[in-house]
Amino acid sequence: MPRMELKRRFGDALRGGLYMPRTDHTALAIIAVLAKTFEPSNSHQQTNYLGEAMFGLLGSMLYAGGTPARHINADVGNAHLLERAVSYIDAHHTDCELTVNRMASDLKVSSRQLQRAFTALDTTPTEYLLQKRLASACQALKQKRITESKTLISTIAFSAGFNDLSYFNRLFRATFNCTPGQYDEMNTEPQSDFLTAK
């Protein structure tokens, strides 16, 4: 496409390196129009209309929902940060000293940036951390039941990253509608979104 025509139509909205997922409908339409444009059987008039269609799709992409290009780049940055943060929590969730501030410091971002990144999962760093700790405690309780171990529930809670047994018991009951002791005696798993987390 002629660069001057792109500049005339879109001005400062036009930036290089915009990210669009392959599953995005506009991206799929652009790919389809490009493929059609290069078909050898096209007439000159058809090629002109396809060119106009391409300009329309580019405009739609650049001004989608009034979202400036810098927000698209920010979304990619947030996705990378989210990936790093999830890996960090997965590796350190059993550390009872772990806080959002320490996590942000270790990842070299602000706490606010970290909070924003987790909105993609419709959660917060704190909720995700608690989710991992509960999942870890559930796994240990299940193992205790299978092996008929005498491990104390308090030991399991502390090993999962909780430093307050009363809080662990309250959170466990609120999440699973049973106490850790009752969970330990169950033959079937209680249903909760916490158990489906990675």
pLDDT digits (tens, 9 = 90+) for 152-185: 999 999 999 999 999 999 999 999 999 998 887 7
Instruction: Give the mean pLDDT of the chain.
Output: 80
Contact 175, 161 (CB under 8 A): no
Average pLDDT over residues 89-112: 95
Contact 69, 18 (CB under 8 A): yes
pLDDT (0 to 100) of residue 45: 79
pLDDT digits (tens, 9 = 90+) for 14-63: 665 565 666 677 777 877 877 777 777 777 778 777 778 877 877 777 76
Q: Output the CA angle 153-154-157, nearest 5 degrees.
A: 85
Where in the chain are the domains? 3-66, 69-123, 128-196
**Does 128 or 53 have the greater pLDDT score?**
128
CATH of domain 128-196: 1.10.10
pLDDT (0 to 100) of residue 92: 96
pLDDT (0 to 100) of residue 195: 47
